[in-house]
Structure 1
Amino acid sequence: MSHSIQSTIPRRRAVRGVRVASATAACALMLAAGAARADDAPAGAPAGITFSGLVEAGITAADHGADRGPNYGHLFTDRTDQLVLNQAVGTIAKDAGSGDEFGWGFKLQGMYGTDARYTHFLGELDRSIGERTQLDIVEANVTAHIPQVAGGSLDLKVGQYASPLGAETIVASSNPLYSHSYIFNFGLPFKHTGALATLHLSGGIDLYGGVDSGVNTSLGKDGDNNDAWSGIFGFGYANADSTVTLVALTHVGPENASTKAPLGLAHANDEARWINDAVLTVKPNDNLTLITELNYVRDDLVKAEAFGAAQYATWKYDDALSLTLRTELFRDVQGFYVSAYQGNQDYVLAEAGWPTRAPVLSAGQGATYLALTAGVTWKPAASLGWDALPDGLALRPEVRYDRSLGNARPFAGDQGQTTFGLDMLIPFGG
């Protein structure tokens, strides 16, 4: 998740990996197609295998207009006044279970959309499509549930998987708002390649431990921006009725690009980045959910740190309507983490240590960001009673205000920015 604030001449990449990328892309499309035909799953398919999908499309308008650059601080909703296909996700999965018997499972999840610009594993489809809408493998892993371990049970996951850190997720249906927080965009990993174990103990205690190749990386020369391994550790807690949950995790390891890339740094394999995140969820009643997230990041190589806090409050009026408020403060002490990427492949180029095709925008100094977001989720099928509409179809309008609390003016030359967003979620299968 390193950022390279440089403008250089584009590097023309040979067609290396296109065959592999094409095969992987075909796999992702097959996942989406399979999910779209969830009701027609083969009769002989093993029990427990599910086919599902999600389509998210949206638009974001800003007070500064499209001609003055991207929506700074947004990342995934950075395009002004442009209707985009954020993600079309197809998933094939089998749950490993959670009972007293051994179980196995897997998850294959592909995505096509503008969100893929930022969620790629390095070395996998990251430079195969130069357009705004791209292909991505979100998850490809096998899982196992092992009962009667240390008085509890053990869940194992091996392969490629979404990061367990954070309150928000890559797949849009798990998030209460259209736009993402600063913490999700700039303070957390998106994905890992490796192995993750979760030990479930009595009293609602979980212990986490894992090893992986790093932040948003895969394996091999092009898949990992350095030659060092990283790891995850932490704990979770849930009370008896799960109305109070806490997950506190740390991901640690070298994350900057090494000198095997033109803009890589010496000693990149030796100095760690510490990513610490805690999420507390409290449900006072069936209609109100409160989420508090605390985040702290420190990179030992470049001597940069950031920290933030986000507070969510979601009130469910009925099955058709809910309201979410998010308040966030995020301090980028040296101005290292928060950036905006103008080129469609610039984010992954910066991660890998290669020159970007357009200047990477930043505050140019340390900055503290305030973001206030209010959004509504409306499900027409539940409200109108129209059987022809999918049950999970949702419209989510939101208004968001971002502001730099210091002297920085990163929002198209201003200290503040107001955006109006609207997305539509269409889930299917299951």
Structure 2
Amino acid sequence: MRPSPVAWLAALAAAPLSLAPAAMAAGELNQPGMIATTDFEYGDYYGAADGSPSDAIPPAPLPSATIQASSPAPNAFAAVGATPCCDLCETDCADACGGDVCCGSSCGGGGFSFCPFHCNLGEPFAVSSLVLNECSPWFFGGWTQAGIHTENTRFSVEDNDALAFNDHPGRINLHQQWLYFGKNADGSDGLDWGFRADIMYGTDAVKTQAFGGNPGTWDYQNGWDRGGGYGGALPQLYGELACGDWSVKMGHFFTLVGYEVVAAPDNFFYSHAFTMFNSEPFTHTGALATYSGFENVEFYGGWVAGWDTGFTQNQGGSMWLGGASVGVTDNVNLTYINYIGNFGAKSAGETGYGHSVVANCTISDRLNYVFQSDYVDAGDVTGFDSIGVNQYLFYSFNDCLAAGARMEWYKLDGTSYQGLTYGLNYKCHSNIIVRPELRHNWTNENDADLADFNQTVFGVDAIFTY
């Protein structure tokens, strides 16, 4: 018998409090709802100033262009109360390679050494470095993601409706072939301009099109689908102006809502939460301003043409999008984003409301806990009313290996669903990450159409960034 969702949520919330509550320096603030908090930085949501997955709030430039891995702790074993193995054997390599590697790593070999808390990722590669210097405001790059999973995640047996990204089981899928290009807007010395363009192909692309817009416009039902679940999308195309503490994006861009994102390198897990896929917009078209003139606080506000729209207004879509991200303490970041108005196709032209809350907490230099919740009321006509609570716990063993768990309770139109996912992230190189996971989905609803929802799904993918 599966434990109740309340019991799971209570256990997951309490877990970090009993584990190694050592202090650490504040994590680096990235996109709302995402903060780099551990030595193993599995993603930098919406990316860096050098043009990683997006550039909504650029952190420090990342040498790998998508995933940043900080240096190993000088005494990683001491951080967990064990004897530092490198102290035992580094002299064996000192003559050959200066003692930089040790414990059976053959004095310079990449990957894992014998010491489980030490790894050598190697030098990252970025195609932009072939033609651009590190001070250039221009950027380009991309990544390739492929994976395989055993089952669909379905909400309805009758129509085989797989309300999730991973909906083609039993085969190796090219999920994301992604390329981006742009210029950073640096307003530190006065008015500056920038832009960004992203294009993607794969099984994830057909779920990222502007399906909230008018059919036949932008990338939705416009000949981009190629069959077999494959297709293309243009998830971002916007210009940006920046001056001092202000910046304004105008065009088609990713949402501020939620914690998980479309861009694969910026998520810990291969699969996505029900809440993210069903109760959060992916993209907007409009104008969005950011103000960062206060210490540890950023404000956001603007107008967008509804939910997942291209450059048209479906059913009069028009809504406010905004909120704030606050560094409450050195180790806790809180983000609140809300939106209100006509969602367009998603609310059938009615006025709706939604918000997202993300609390990101650094428990120790290895342990990170995240609480995230969404609420959406899309109006009476569609009957779309949902609430979701997601909790995440991540532990980094070193720069190469991390473990994570995600517990979700999701309620859609009165029906509750639960999910428990746990997995690993293994970086065999600065540009390559492998993400195996095991996911359990279940519901206590007595509904024949939901009989196949109770399932266990195994999946694994790999991401190569460049």
Whether TM-score is above 0.5 comes out as yes
Paired position in structure 1 for 2:432: 393
Deviations 1:264-285 (A, max 9, x none): x9xx43x212121111111122
Match for residue 337 of structure 2 among 245, 249, 262: 249
Match for residue 126 of structure 1 among 220, 226, 229: 220
Give distance in 2, aligned partners of 1:218 and 1:91.
18
Other structure's SS at 1:380 match = strand
Question: Does structure 2 retain, via aligned residues, the 8 Å contact 1:74–1:179?
Answer: no
CA separation of 1:272/1:63 partners in 2, compared to 1, >3 Å: closer, same or farther?
closer
Question: Does structure 2 retain, via aligned residues, the 8 Å contact 1:89–1:111?
Answer: yes
Output aligned runs, 1:53-132, within 5 Å.
Answer: 53-62=142-151, 75-97=164-186, 99=188, 101-121=190-210, 122=213, 123-127=217-221, 128=223, 129-131=225-227, 132=229
Match for residue 390 of structure 2 among 292, 310, 330: 310
Paired position in structure 1 for 2:21: none
Q: Shift of residue 145 of structure 1?
A: 2.1
In the alignment, structure 1 residue 293 sits paired with structure 2 residue 372:
yes
Match for residue 235 of structure 1 among 296, 311, 324: 324
2:395 maps to a residue whose letter is W
What stretches of structure 2 of length at least 5 have no aligned partner?
1-124
Deviations 1:368-417 (A, max 9, x none): 00000001001113xxxxxxxxx220110000001112223545x33511
In the alignment, structure 1 residue 374 sits paired with structure 2 residue 422:
yes
Give distance in 1, aligned partners of 2:424 and 2:449.
28
Give distance in 1, aligned partners of 2:247 and 2:344.
30
In the alignment, structure 1 residue 284 sits paired with structure 2 residue 360:
no
Give distance in 2, aligned partners of 1:70 and 1:170.
25
Paired position in structure 1 for 2:137: 48
1:378 maps to a residue whose letter is Y
Other structure's SS at 1:136 match = strand
Give distance in 1, aligned partners of 2:135 and 2:402.
37
Deviations 1:329-368 (A, max 9, x none): 00112xxxxxxxxxxxxxxxxxxxxxxxxxxxxxxxx310
Give distance in 2, aligned partners of 1:324 and 1:74.
23
Q: Shift of residue 40 of structure 1?
A: 4.0
CA separation of 1:173/1:427 partners in 2, compared to 1, >3 Å: closer, same or farther?
same
Q: Shift of residue 304 of structure 1?
A: 3.5
Paired position in structure 2 for 1:198: 290
CA separation of 1:77/1:64 partners in 2, compared to 1, >3 Å: closer, same or farther?
closer
Question: Does structure 1 retain, via aligned residues, the 8 Å contact 2:153–2:163?
Answer: no
Q: Shift of residue 142 of structure 1?
A: 1.3
Give distance in 2, aligned partners of 1:95 and 1:239.
28
Other structure's SS at 2:207 match = helix
Question: Does structure 2 retain, via aligned residues, the 8 Å contact 1:209–1:234?
Answer: yes
1:402 maps to a residue whose letter is N
CA separation of 1:103/1:289 partners in 2, compared to 1, >3 Å: closer, same or farther?
farther
1:287 maps to a residue whose letter is R
Task: Tell me the number of residue pairs that the alignment of Structure 1 and Structure 2 aligns.
Answer: 331
Other structure's SS at 1:379 match = strand
Give distance in 1, aligned partners of 2:362 and 2:150.
33
Paired position in structure 1 for 2:462: 424
What stretches of structure 1 of length at least 5 have no aligned partner?
1-34, 148-152, 259-264, 334-365, 382-390
Other structure's SS at 1:257 match = helix
Match for residue 354 of structure 2 among 245, 261, 275: 275
Normalization by structure 2: what TM-score?
Answer: 0.66
CA separation of 1:373/1:198 partners in 2, compared to 1, >3 Å: closer, same or farther?
same
Output aligned runs, 1:309-388, within 5 Å.
Answer: 309-333=389-413, 366-381=414-429
Paired position in structure 2 for 1:170: 262
Output aligned runs, 1:397-408, within 5 Å.
Answer: 397-408=436-447
CA separation of 1:231/1:238 partners in 2, compared to 1, >3 Å: closer, same or farther?
same
Deviations 1:102-161 (A, max 9, x none): 4322111110111011110232222212412111111111122221xxxxx112111110
Give distance in 2, aligned partners of 1:59 and 1:74.
17
Give distance in 2, aligned partners of 1:278 and 1:398.
25
CA RMSD of aligned residues (A): 2.7
1:306 maps to a residue whose letter is S
2:335 maps to a residue whose letter is V
CA separation of 1:240/1:368 partners in 2, compared to 1, >3 Å: closer, same or farther?
closer
Match for residue 184 of structure 1 among 262, 276, 283: 276
Paired position in structure 2 for 1:154: 246
Other structure's SS at 1:176 match = coil
CA separation of 1:199/1:36 partners in 2, compared to 1, >3 Å: closer, same or farther?
closer
